[in-house]
Amino acid sequence: MASEGASRRKSKKPAGGVNSKRARRKDEPSAPTASRIFHLAVAGGAAAALILGLWAAGFEGRTTHTSTDGPFGDESVPLDASRTFDPNRIDINPNLEPDPLEILREKFNVSMLSENPPIYQFEHFLTDEEANGIIELASGMFKRSTTGLDRDKTDLSRTSSTAWLIDPSHYSNPLVKRIENRMASAMNVPAINQEGFQVLEYQLSEYYREHHDFLPEMTQWPCGVRLATFFLYLSDVEEGGGTWFPRLNVTGVPKKGRALLWYNVQKDASGEWKMDGRTQHEAVPVIKGTKYAANKWIHVKDWVTPWRAGRTG
């Protein structure tokens, strides 16, 4: 397995992990304003202004909710669930100015495990208290992890335990909502597109063999396919327990509070969502210690509304 952070851009790596050429003021919108677009057009040319304009268009006409009780302060969350989002909207590209990765770094301590396809690694995405809180919510609910769409099949490809935070009390829990909003802010995808938390426990020697989070049946669902996976490490692991991407030969190493973000799909020439096989991944066995983690699957459209109505499929 490759060492963690195998393909990061040296030119973009921040000193001490967090990069901002300047700190963003709390009253400054994360999306560029018209004046900033005009200024860039004058200083850098129409092509650069077009990129900023497209970025700004992603926010146009949306209602936002702002939470200030998280460790990152201003977390403005788009709530319009009617938009289908391009998985490359925060992809890294050396020809874009400003670099979307730099926009993320104004708020998050983020680097790249892989540039193509993009796999983002966030340090200190959760506080210790938040990580412990998620484990506490899942306490007493763990059952043998399943495979397949119906969540009723167990086999030797997966030996971990799972707890689902999908009760109404979980969706209204302030801790859960705060973390959901933070994820939505990082991706610029509404929180309503997220499935409920899957909390995972891996004891000694437990694993999940190579698999993919794309499920073809979901192409016909109201929520659409799983655009991306946001994966949170809730504990340190003494040895083993990494998230390995075998086709890329990179590994996310468990560290309490760390998070990974990767995309499960690409659009083909006809505009249809297709599985991106490069993000096949595996939870390698825990050699020493216990691994706690949680993940969110983010859909291209509203997940919560049809799920509550019992019509996800």
pTM above 0.95, yes or no: no
Band of the pLDDT at 313, cuts 50, 70, 90? low
Q: Which class for 121: exposed (0-12), middle (13-18), buried (19 or more C-beta within 10 A)?
A: buried
Cα dihedral 110, 113, 114, 119 in deg (nearest 10) = -60
- The pair phi, psi for residue 82, each rounded to 5°, is -85, -10
184: amino acid identity, one letter: A
Inform me whether the pLDDT recorded for 40 exceeds 50.
Answer: no
Q: How much is the average pLDDT of 199-204?
A: 98
229 vs 188: which has the higher pLDDT: 229
Q: How much is the average pLDDT of 231-241?
A: 98
Q: How much is the average pLDDT of 88-117?
A: 72
How far is the C-alpha of 259 from the C-alpha of 284, rounded, in Å?
A: 17
| 253-257 contact pairs (CB < 8 A, 24+) | 253/4, 254/291, 254/293, 255/123, 256/126, 256/128, 256/131, 257/123, 257/124, 257/125, 257/126, 257/127, 257/128, 257/130, 257/131, 257/233
**Closest by Cα among 206, 248, 245 to 229:** 245
